[in-house]
Chains A and B, each alone.
Chain A
Amino acid sequence: MKELNPLLHSQLRLAVISILMNVEEADFVYLKEKTESTAGNLSVQLDKLSNAGYISVGKGMSGKRPRTICSITPDGRKAFEEYVEALKTYLNI
């Protein structure tokens, strides 16, 4: 059996990647709301995904407030697809 990618095999990181697989881009507030996570935790997990090259994180301004926009990279898309394939073997789907 294929090993599940440890970077994706965690609740919040998997949730973020799953969302980003379905949209072109999403901002930090949207991700926080959809994943029902805390800002601190989400921020740490986004950094991990970004450092792995799975997501790209852009910083902009929304009026006077900073705005973080995330989107999935081709590497992230590939990693997610491989993760789902591996998951299928574990679940016998």
Chain B
Amino acid sequence: MEERKLTERESLEVITSMIARTKQRYIGDGRILLMWGYLTVVLSALIWVLIGFTHNPVWNWLWFLLWIIGGTLTPIMDKKMQREKGVKNYSDTVTSRIWSTVGFSAIAATAICLVFLLVGGKDAWSMMFAIALIVVPFAEIASGIVVKENSLIIGGAIGLGAGLFTLACIAGHVVLYTSWFMPMFIIAFIAMMIVPGHILNHKARKEA
């Protein structure tokens, strides 16, 4: 493109052409989703096995690794992906803010659980599972609606189903035994993050 004066009609063509070039749908790839998905699944399986063998709930402290590793890697990966893409549009900002809200609510929930733990309310930790299976799916469904990606909406809906079931169990004083709850938690995260993450990566490769 050169630097030159235009006729009015050419001006209109430049405007419509540039709008068309920036209008392509940016779903983004699934790298961050996959990182959180695999991290959660591996850590959940590890904690499940360790608690199963030792019957010691102290292994639950390993959940903090999720926030430490995920919380450190997410901004690094996000910055790298933004650099690669070269552009940030409105849907990027919206989805980024949705996930930031999830992060802050998780920090707040962790703080509340720790306070409960200090005053002897050990069962407060089950709230973290409900948070993970309700707030995260909601954010995923919202992101899916923003970027018009069905795999995120379906994955989020499966997670939300598991979350509502968990909430009903907590409200109905049903004990969340690791023998059935952990497999359900792992399956929910596979459906919520790993499957959509691979679908997004596949679509991103095809668009490249």
Q: Do A and B come from one complex?
A: yes
Q: Pick the contact of B9: A9, A26, A33, A91 (CB < 8 A).
A: A91
Is A9 within 8 A of B18, CB to CB? no
- Asked if A45 and B88 make an inter-chain contact with CB atoms under 8 angstroms apart, the answer reads no
Assess whether B58 is interfacial by the CB under 8 Å rule. no
Most chain B CB atoms below 10 A, which of A11, A24, A33, A34: A11
Query: Which residues of chain A come closer than 8 Å to B23, judged between CB atoms?
Result: 22
Interface of A is mostly: helix
Decide: A27 and B87 in contact? CB cutoff 8 A: yes
**Count the A residues whose beta carbon is within 8 Å of the partner chain — how many?**
34
B3 near A11 with CB under 8 A, answer: yes
A57-74 with Cβ < 8 A to chain B: 62-63, 67
A-facing residues in B2-26 (Cβ within 8 Å): 2-6, 8-12, 14-15, 17-19, 21-23
CB of B18 within 8 A of CB of A18, answer yes
Q: Which B residues touch A85, using CB under 8 A?
A: none
Which residues of chain B are near A11, meaning CB under 8 Å? 1-4, 6, 10, 14
Complex contact B19–A18 (CB within 8 A): yes
Does A39 count as interface, using CB distance less than 8 angstroms?
Answer: no
With A18-B14, A34-B18, A91-B12 already in contact, the answer to whether A10 and B89 are too (CB < 8 A) is no
Given contact pairs A12-B3, A27-B86, A44-B3, enumerate 12 new A-B contacts (beta carbons under 8 Å).
Answer: A9-B5, A9-B11, A10-B5, A11-B10, A11-B14, A15-B18, A18-B15, A22-B19, A22-B89, A24-B89, A26-B87, A37-B1
Sample of 18 A–B contacts (CB below 8 Å): A9-B5, A9-B6, A10-B4, A13-B3, A14-B14, A15-B17, A22-B23, A23-B87, A24-B92, A25-B88, A27-B86, A27-B87, A30-B86, A35-B18, A37-B1, A37-B2, A84-B15, A87-B12
Q: Which residues of B contact A (CB under 8 A)?
A: 1-6, 8-12, 14-15, 17-19, 21-23, 83, 85-90, 92-93
